[in-house]
Structure 1
């Protein structure tokens, strides 16, 4: 017999309604991939490695990433933006010093790359602002390690209310 489906937010048993499940306590519909069994909580999705290729993802794709992944990407994007700004400044200085240097195209290309990575930084900052309530000033390796430690020490036990324990307390 299949174990009864439970809400990942409150642990209540769910009612199946077509393709979705319904939680009477949370008053919400849940997709099959959100539903848990045994009163378990939603697992925390995280990668320990974030690659710069993830920076090419669209905003809807970025929205699906975990907060940890977004923090790692923000760190990478800010570094890339800083490097692109320095390159842009170098081309500007070369072109200002020598009008015949012919590096205008390189300056324009660097400028467009700088604008693109700056916009990606804005997207990542705003996604994190939605989740955390603020935009991190700086994302350090230590901050990411601390974040991972908090994930590892997170509450993972089932969400069960023990009614026999409640009755004992009431009779005392």
Structure 2
């Protein structure tokens, strides 16, 4: 029996890509439909590639929250490095014009990483309700442990009361 991954209710197929849940009042994509009141699976990778930084915002939006946190840690480091380079080239440029182009390039990169940080921070804010001030390795390890230690409590089945209990409650 096909069931809703959110509430466990029986669902009806409405087209070749979707089912409908009356309780949740929503279409459910066929890819996440469950059987026999199974719960949703948690999808995450315990890493993110640096190349993810260059993805478009819609592509970044598909990443798990853990991947976003990991990505933000990388972006913040790159942004900090670009600021440092920009500062160094600015100081070197005071003595020679040879470094003006490197300073401008570092400034463009700094702006790029700043905007990417804004994107990822806002996505994290919508999921967690806040953006961590610092994302350390220990923070990521603890977050990952919480995911792995999640108490996945079996299927979403509502137990029916026995008739005896109902009679005693009325009497």
With normalisation by structure 2, the TM-score equals 0.91
Question: In the alignment, which of 103, 126, 135 is matched to residue 122 of structure 2?
Answer: 126
5+ long unaligned stretches in structure 2 = none
Are 1:8 and 2:5 an aligned pair?
A: yes
**Alpha-carbon distance in structure 1 between the residues aligned to 2:158 and 2:91:** 68
- State the distance in 2 between where 1:5 and 1:148 align: 30
| d(CA) in 2 for partners of 1:155, 1:37 | 20
Report 1:17-96 matches (<5 A). Answer: 17-19=14-16, 20-96=18-94
1:10 alignment partner, SS class: coil
Q: Secondary structure at the match of 1:103?
A: helix
| Structure 1 match to 2:113 | 117
Q: Which residue of structure 2 aligns with residue 137 of structure 1?
A: 133
The corresponding residue for 1:153 is: 149
Give aligned pairs, total: 165
Larger deviation, residues 15-24 vs 146-155: 146-155
Q: Distance in 1 between matches of 2:84 and 2:99?
A: 15
Deviation at 1:155, TM superposition (A): 3.3
CA distance in 2, matches of 1:169, 1:68: 45
Distance 2:100 2:165 in 1: 78
Tell me the distance in 1 between the aligned counterparts of 2:103 and 2:151. Answer: 51
Q: Deviations over 1:7-64 (max 9, x none)?
A: 1110001111112101011111111012111211211111112111111111000100
Tell me the CA shift for residue 169 of structure 1: 5.0
Displacement of 1:101: 4.0
TM-score, scaled to structure 1: 0.91
Query: Where in structure 1 are there 5+ consecutive unaligned residues?
Result: none
The structural deviation recorded for 1:145 is: 1.3
> Hey, what's the Cα distance between the residues in 1 that align with 2:117 and 2:132?
12
